[in-house]
Structure 1
Amino acid sequence: MRIALVSLAAVAAAAVATPALANEARVEARTGIIWDGSDSEAVAGVAVGYDYDLGSKFFVGVEGSADKVLTSDTRVSWGAGGRIGYKITPTTKLYANSTWQSKFAKYGNSAVAVGGGVEQALDSRFYAKAEYKHLLVGDNTPDADVGLLGVGVKF
C-alpha cells in the first residue's frame, strides 16, 4: 500500500508541471553506496531529467536513471520518477524525490525510492549534488538505503 501511495505522489508531482514554464534539462553521472543493514556495496549510474519552474522559487521535475551495484551478481536497475523542490538561492536547489526502481538482482524485487537531496550550481551549466534515497522493497525483502554524489550538466 505504501509503495502505491508513494508512486501515485510522484506521478501527481510530475503531472502538475506545464511545458510553458520549462526551465532546464540535465544529464548527470553519479556514484555512491547502497546498504541494507547487513551489507554495503558501491553503486554507480547516470540520470537524465527535466525541471519545470513553478514561479521563481519552486520547481518540479521528471527523471530517468540507470544505476548498477558494482558487484558481479547484480544488474542495471532502471528508474523513473520525479522530484519537487525549492530554490534556496539562485544556484542552490533543495528537493524531495520519489522513483520506481527495477530489480538490482535477478531474484530481487523492484522498489520505490523516496528521499531528497541538494543540488548546487558550479557555474551556468555544471552542477554537483548529494542525494539520499530509502528503497521500499516490499514482499518481505529488507528495505535498503542509497547515498549518491553526482556531477552533471544543464541545457
Structure 2
Amino acid sequence: MRIALVSLAAVVAVAAATPALANEARVEARGGVIWDGSNSEATLGVAAGYDYDLGETAFIGIQGSADKILTDDTRVSWGVGGRIGVVAAPGTKVYALADWQSKNCKYCNSAVGVGGGVQQDIGTRYYLKAEYQHLLIGDNTPDADRGLVGVGVKF
C-alpha cells in the first residue's frame, strides 16, 4: 500500500512540475459498474483534470473525482490522482492511471486505484472515454474492480 501511495505522489509531483506546452483542462460525467468477488453495483460520478503535453505524442495529467455507488449505505468517494499516456492517433489518448479514493461507506476502507483507459475526441471540444481500474483496498477487505465510461468537455 505504501508503495502505491508513494508512486501516486510521484506522479502528481511530476505533473505539477512539468512545463506547459498546449495544456488541456477537462470536465466529465461518468458512470459504470464496480464489482468484487460476489457483488456488483452501478456507480455514477464526475471528474475534472488537467493534462500537460510532453512533446507531440505524450502527456501527463492530474485529476480529481467524486463517485457514488448507487446503493444504500454508501457515500460519495472523493479521489485524487494522475495519468500518463500517449497520443495513439490524432484525437486518441491511451493512458495508465493511479489514484487514491476516500472510503465510500462508514465502515469501508479507502483505496488506491490502478488501471488504464482510452479517450477519444469528438470534434475539438468533446470526448468519450472508457477506463478500467483495479482498486487495492487492504485491511483484509477484498479488492474491487471498476469499469467506467464517460463523456466530457475540454477547455
On whether the aligned pair clears a TM of 0.5, the verdict is yes
Distance across 2 between alignment mates of 1:20 and 1:84: 15
Distance across 1 between alignment mates of 2:91 and 2:102: 32
Task: Give how far 1:58 is off.
Answer: 0.8
* Structure 1 alignment gaps of length 5 or more: none
TM-score by length of 1: 0.95
Alpha carbons of structure 1 residues 4 and 22: separation in structure 2 relative to 1, 3 Å: farther
Say which of 12, 15, 28 aligns to 2:13. Answer: 15
Q: 2:102 aligns to what?
A: 102
Distance across 1 between alignment mates of 2:58 and 2:97: 14
Distance across 2 between alignment mates of 1:15 and 1:21: 17
Output the amino acid matched with 1:130: A
% of aligned pairs identical? 67
Q: 2:42 aligns to what?
A: 42
Distance across 2 between alignment mates of 1:54 and 1:32: 30
Distance across 2 between alignment mates of 1:101 and 1:65: 9
Q: 1:6 aligns to what?
A: 4
Q: 1:121 aligns to what?
A: 121
* Structure 2 alignment gaps of length 5 or more: none
Output the amino acid matched with 1:16: V
2:133 is the counterpart of 1:133:
yes
Number of residues paired by the alignment?
Answer: 153
TM-score by length of 2: 0.95
For the residue of structure 1 that corresponds to 2:20, the secondary structure is helix
